[in-house]
Amino acid sequence: MAEDIGTGGGAGAIGGDMGAGAFTDRMKGAGEAMQASGQKMAEGGSQVTLKMLEQAETNTCEAFAAMRSAASAKDLGDVMRIQTEFLREQGNRSMSQAREIGEMIVQFGRDAVGAVRPKQD
């Protein structure tokens, strides 16, 4: 049974004909790449969270501005116009914000994957 494992300089079946030192170096490199990828993902997650908080703040300010306008409206027609305008603007804002978050997520995904891929010469 021991004959089936291979003679890869201590690396056994996992390393094939690779020496133990080379196998260890490759594993170390893979570990470092995974660590770099994890770091990129953590940084990207923080950036997305901060962007979402910024967007929530903007949305809240816009909602309060619309409520102030509605509270000072002269008649029901004004209130309806203010609400309609707010809802239209909020819909546009939501689409833009979702697109922005999506682009950020895609970019930090690329950065994280790029940290794992070997450098091309």
Are 60 and 47 spatial neighbours (Cβ–Cβ below 8 Å)?
no
Higher pLDDT, 4 or 78: 78
- Among 67, 61, 59, smallest CA distance to 90 is for 59
Confidence band for 100, pLDDT divided at 50, 70 and 90: very high
Residue boundaries of the structural domains of the chain: 36-72, 75-115
Does the pTM of the predicted model rise above 0.85? no
